[in-house]
Amino acid sequence: MEKGVAMETAQFVRRRTQLKTIIARDAKLQSFLETKLQSAVPLEEDGRSKKRKEQQRVRAGVERLQMYVRAHRSLLEVTGETDLRRIGLVFTRYEHQNLSYLGYVNALHGRSNALRGGARRLEAGAAPRVTHRAHRTGTPRSIITSAVSSEPDPVPGGAEPRARGPEPTAASGPGGSHDDTGSREEGEKQHGRQSAES
């Protein structure tokens, strides 16, 4: 009886494997036939459909040409140049200029955030904090203090304080310089007033 059960089990496993193979082969054949059927070109196309497709192709070409002409005309109006190579140079120059302005705005934004933080710390009575940052606009590395003090910055070794490099302002533009002694003097006056009030 055990032999009969073992034989039936072996036959069942063999038949199941054969059926799986047949099913997989049929699925592959069906997908192959569907692919071939979809990619097959119909043998009979009537003349109207060919004519209609040709008209659509011509119409699309005309619309594309009109779009290019409109784009070229608007480029001419914006740039004032007739040569496409020169237009490319103009756009490249403007792109570089915009990137330098963006770097300048980012530097100003960082500086304003540092000054706001310093003002908050002064209002809270905390000690001033010194931060370092390098400008992307090409100005030398500078030390920005969050609170303006009347004493010069201490230099290690007891040496004289070094001079600060000029920083750009909104009036001077990116990479420009100005004399910030007036703003430093005003800050020192305000700092003196705050010290006198407390």
CA–CA distance, 53 with 26 (Å, rounded to integer): 38
Q: Where in the chain are the domains? A: 83-123
SS3 161: coil
* Beta carbons within 10 angstroms of residue 104's beta carbon: 22
Cα R_g (the chain), whole angstroms: 39
Which residues are registered as beta bridge partners of 143?
132
| Contact between 127 and 158 (Cβ < 8 Å) | no
CA–CA distance, 147 with 132 (Å, rounded to integer): 14
pLDDT tens over the chain, length 198 residues: 788 888 889 999 999 999 999 999 999 999 998 888 777 655 555 667 788 888 999 999 999 999 989 988 887 887 777 787 887 888 888 899 999 999 999 999 999 999 999 999 999 886 555 555 544 444 444 444 433 444 444 444 444 444 444 444 444 444 444 444 444 555 555 555 555 554
Please tell me the pTM assigned to this model. 0.30
| Contact between 90 and 96 (Cβ < 8 Å) | no
